[in-house]
Structure 1
Amino acid sequence: MSAFDAAVGRDGPNHVGRAQGSPDIQHSAKHAAYALASKRIIAGYGFWIFLLSDIVMFSAFFAAYAVLVDATAGGPSGRELFDLGNVSIETACLLLSSFTCGLAGIGARTRNGFWFHGAMAATFILGAAFLGIEIREFMGMIALGAGPTRSAFLSAFFTLVGCHGLHVAIGLLWLLTMMAQVFAKGYRPDILRRLLCFSLFWHALDIIWVGLFTMVYLMGVTQ
Structure 2
Amino acid sequence: MHEVTAPPGATAPVFYEREEHAHGDGGTLIGFWLYLMSDCLIFAILFATYGVLGRNYAAGPSGADLFDLRLVAVNTGLLLLSSITYGFAMLEMEKERVDTTLMWLAVTGLFGLGFLGIELYEFAHLIHEGATPQRSGFLSAFFTL
TM-score range, shorter chain: 0.7 to 0.9
Alignment of 1:63-212 (within 5 A): 63-160=48-145
State the AA in 2 paired with 1:118.
Answer: M
Shift of the 50–132 alpha-carbon distance from structure 1 to 2, 3 Å rule, reads same
More helix by share: 1
User: Alignment identity in percent?
Assistant: 44
Q: Which runs of 5+ in 1 are unaligned?
A: 8-32, 161-223
Alignment of 1:29-48 (within 5 A): 41=27, 44-45=29-30, 47-48=32-33
Task: Give the deviation of 1:112 after TM superposition.
Answer: 2.3
Shift of the 51–104 alpha-carbon distance from structure 1 to 2, 3 Å rule, reads closer
- Superimposed CA distance per residue, residues 12-55 of structure 1 (whole angstroms, 9 cap, x where no aligned partner): xxxxxxxxxxxxxxxxxxxxx9xx89xx84x6545534432322
Following TM superposition, where does structure 1 have runs of at least 4 consecutive aligned residues deviating by more than 4 angstroms? 43-47
Instruction: Kindly name which structure, 1 or 2, has the bigger radius of gyration based on alpha carbons.
Output: 2
Query: In 1, distance between residues paired with 2:90 and 2:36?
Result: 19
Query: In 1, distance between residues paired with 2:94 and 2:29?
Result: 18
Larger relative contact order, structure 1 or 2 (CA cutoff 8 Å, min sep 6)? 2
Mapped pair 1:56 → 2:41: yes
TM-score normalised according to structure 1 size:
0.51
Query: In 2, distance between residues paired with 1:47 and 1:106?
Result: 14
Task: Give the deviation of 1:114 after TM superposition.
Answer: 2.5
Shift of the 6–123 alpha-carbon distance from structure 1 to 2, 3 Å rule, reads closer
Task: Give the deviation of 1:151 after TM superposition.
Answer: 0.5
- Superimposed CA distance per residue, residues 197-223 of structure 1 (whole angstroms, 9 cap, x where no aligned partner): xxxxxxxxxxxxxxxxxxxxxxxxxxx
TM-score normalised according to structure 2 size:
0.76
Q: Which runs of 5+ in 2 are unaligned?
A: 1-16
